[in-house]
């Protein structure tokens, strides 16, 4: 199974064998049609579409939509995400978080530097570069341009070569050899760029598209500054990932990728990027000036496959990949701090705007604390970290709630959180500027949107529970539950 996580084409073959991929062979248009199909796939939890026949596509390139979308197959809802990590199709959210945490604790496995790889089957340099020859899609009607990079990761390196940073990012096509997109100063790409800027130099840069799925997942993990992602991919897979050197700037990139773009991030040149339909589910109407990425060379496989994420209402890859990696990191942080937490989950439906924290109420009672004091402790532990910076709201619930079940989370939020006593704001904490509810004043300050919402009853801080749960699982003797399940067809309800 690990081979599927380190080779994008084997990943696709495994999806096909599972019936979790549809080969779309009729001609489709890159002007919104592919994106519209992909959005419907996300929203109805359907198999991933692989588009083989794209109008005007001279290269024979293909496009894969919804590479980490959710499945509607019972018991395999997280199957596509699990396959990114080399895990079984039936893996649960808890299984996936546990695997990520195990890799975080494991010794990093260094990548293997190889002389060449499949991604270098075709090479364009200088004037040969023409990004318009790829099937670059228009993703939303109101977008300000076509986006080539929506499911790839940036590769940059600190000037002293001590830090190789891989980070998820988007890039909009400007013309045949220029792109534009965010390089937020508080994100790692922005930090590395600042190091080069201090030397008066443009930043050497690459982007990997159709990269090994495990590498994409790790690139979505907000690791501490200075930590190189390639070693974590090796730890996750139990083997080093193959890297090849770029043609023009000496960076090391995945040998098994489909497409590698390489060049520089301009020192000062900017262009209007967007607007774009965003991962919080909103279609913005105004773009922003962002740095220009100059492409000096492109390498790619024969008939390359470009993966796309059509951002919008969840769940899509910004939630399934990014949110899951953040969940694992927050759980690790809280447990390392000795706090009584047994699971953390960034509910996909919340569009990466909250993380739900499952609290061991027996251990909580032993602390002898209060809702305010415990919320403050959680906030101090989380919000000053990189993953905590990205998530604006934390919801605390007792571990009688399955926090991966959004219905249970909504029930707890609606019935257990007192509006006057359980909502705690932290206006001085740094805030991620892309959070949609922030005001212009918040964005100018860089703070103002952090909160902890307590959904623990006061009695739970004393080891007691205000009331039991009225449900099939909790309100009937186990023997009667088993009897009802066994007679389900007899009652006339079809499949048990």
SS3 211: coil
Which one, of 205, 216, 212, 214, lies nearest residue 181 by Cα? 205
Which one, of 163, 142, 165, lies nearest residue 153 by Cα? 165
Contact 156, 192 (CB under 8 A): yes
Cα separation, 165 vs 6, in Å, equals 18
Q: Which two tokens stand for residue 335?
A: 């447990």
Please indicate if the annotation marks 170 as binding a ligand.
Answer: yes
Q: Which two tokens stand for residue 298?
A: 């492109």
Q: What interhelical angle do 324-336 and 371-382 show, nearest 10?
A: 110
Q: Which residue has the higher pLDDT, 223 or 74?
A: 74
What pLDDT is attached to residue 488? 94
Whole-prediction pTM:
0.92
Cα separation, 211 vs 257, in Å, equals 4
Asked whether the predicted pLDDT for residue 490 surpasses 90, the reply is yes
Residue 463, preceding peptide bond in cis (omega within 30° of 0): no
Mean pLDDT, residues 252-267: 97
Contact 496, 488 (CB under 8 A): yes
What pLDDT is attached to residue 496? 56
Please indicate if the annotation marks 380 as binding a ligand.
Answer: no
High-pLDDT (> 90) share of the chain, %: 87
SS3 275: coil
| Distances 237 to 234, 241, 327, 330 between C-alpha atoms, Å | 5, 8, 19, 21
- Per-residue model confidence as pLDDT tens digits over 426-465: 999 999 888 999 999 999 999 999 999 999 999 999 999 9
**165 φ, ψ to 5°?**
-105, 130
- Per-residue model confidence as pLDDT tens digits over 22-73: 999 999 999 999 999 999 999 999 999 999 999 988 788 999 999 999 999 9
Which one, of 378, 342, 385, lies nearest residue 221 by Cα? 385
Please indicate if the annotation marks 479 as binding a ligand.
Answer: no
Mean pLDDT, residues 159-172: 94
Asked whether the predicted pLDDT for residue 254 surpasses 50, the reply is yes
Mean pLDDT for all residues in the chain: 94
Cα separation, 106 vs 410, in Å, equals 35
CB 437: neighbour CB atoms within 10 A? Answer: 11
Asked about 278 being catalytic, the answer comes back as: yes
Please indicate if the annotation marks 166 as binding a ligand.
Answer: yes
C-alpha gyration radius of the chain: 23
List the catalytic residue out of 258, 278, 316, 431.
278
What pLDDT is attached to residue 495? 67
Q: Which two tokens stand for residue 233?
A: 């991919």
Cα separation, 182 vs 174, in Å, equals 14
What pLDDT is attached to residue 2? 61
Cα separation, 158 vs 486, in Å, equals 62
What pLDDT is attached to residue 1? 45
DSSP 90: T
pLDDT band of residue 253 (cuts 50, 70, 90) is very high
Instruction: Give the up-direction half-sphere exposure of residue 384: CA atoms within 13 A in the CB hemisphere.
Output: 7
**Burial (CB count <10 Å: 0-12, 13-18, 19+), residue 183:** buried
Please indicate if the annotation marks 490 as binding a ligand.
Answer: no
Which one, of 248, 280, 276, 252, lies nearest residue 264 by Cα? 248
CB 211: neighbour CB atoms within 10 A? Answer: 30
Please indicate if the annotation marks 229 as binding a ligand.
Answer: yes
- How many Å separate Cα 209 from the centre of its chain? 15
SS3 480: helix
Which one, of 335, 349, 347, lies nearest residue 382 by Cα? 335
Token match 């228009």: residue?
138
High-pLDDT (> 70) share of the chain, %: 99
């Amino acid at each position: 199974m690990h081979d599927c996580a380190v080779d994008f084409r084997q990943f696709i073959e495994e999806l096909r064998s599972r019936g979790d991929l549809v080969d779309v062979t009729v001609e489709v248009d890159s002007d919104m049609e592919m994106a519209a199909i992909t959005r419907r796939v996300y929203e109805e939890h359907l198999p991933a579409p692989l588009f083989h026949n794209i109008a005007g596509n001279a290269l024979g390139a293909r496009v894969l939509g919804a590479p980490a979308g959710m499945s509607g197959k019972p018991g395999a809802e997280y199957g596509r995400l699990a396959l990114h990590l080399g895990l079984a199709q039936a893996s649960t959210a808890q299984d996936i978080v546990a695997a990520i945490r195990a890799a975080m604790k494991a010794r990093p496995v260094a990548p293997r530097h190889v002389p060449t790889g499949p991604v270098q089957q075709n090479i364009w340099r200088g004037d040969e570069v023409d990004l318009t020859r790829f099937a670059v899609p228009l993703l939303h009607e109101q977008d300000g341009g076509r986006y080539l990079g929506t499911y790839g990761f940036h590769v940059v390196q600190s000037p002293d070569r001590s830090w190789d940073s891989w980070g998820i990012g988007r890039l909009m096509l400007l013309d045949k050899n220029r792109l534009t997109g965010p390089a937020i100063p508080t994100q790692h790409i922005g930090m590395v760029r600042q190091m080069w800027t201090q030397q008066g130099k443009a930043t050497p840069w690459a982007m990997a598209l159709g990269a090994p799925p495990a590498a994409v997942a790790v690139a979505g993990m907000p690791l501490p500054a200075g930590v190189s992602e390639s070693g974590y991919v090796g730890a996750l897979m139990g083997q080093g990932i193959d890297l090849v050197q770029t043609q023009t700037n000496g960076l090391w990139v995945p040998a098994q990728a489909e497409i590698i773009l390489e060049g520089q991030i301009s020192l000062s040149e900017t262009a209007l990027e967007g607007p774009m339909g965003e991962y919080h589910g909103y279609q913005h109407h105004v773009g922003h000036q962002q740095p220009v990425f100059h492409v000096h060379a492109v390498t790619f496989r024969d008939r390359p496959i470009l993966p796309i994420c059509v951002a919008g209402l969840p769940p899509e890859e910004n939630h399934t990949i990014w949110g899951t990696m953040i969940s694992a990191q927050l759980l690790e942080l809280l447990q390392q701090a000795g706090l009584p937490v047994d699971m953390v989950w960034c509910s996909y439906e919340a569009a990466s705007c909250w993380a739900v924290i499952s609290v061991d109420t027996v251990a909580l009672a032993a602390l002898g604390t209060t809702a305010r004091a415990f919320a403050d402790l959680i906030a101090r532990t989380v919000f000053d970290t990189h993953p905590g910076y990205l998530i604006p709201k934390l919801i605390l619930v007792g571990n009688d709630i399955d926090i991966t079940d959004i219905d249970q989370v909504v029930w707890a939020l609606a019935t257990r959180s007192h509006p006057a006593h359980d909502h705690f704001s932290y206006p001085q904490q740094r805030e991620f500027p892309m959070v949609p509810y922030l005001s212009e004043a918040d964005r100018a300050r860089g703070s103002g949107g952090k909160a902890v919402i307590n959904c623990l009853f006061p009695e739970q801080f004393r080891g007691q529970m205000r009331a039991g749960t009225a449900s099939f699982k909790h309100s009937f003797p186990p023997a009667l539950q088993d009897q009802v399940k066994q007679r389900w067809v007899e009652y006339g309800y079809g499949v048990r």
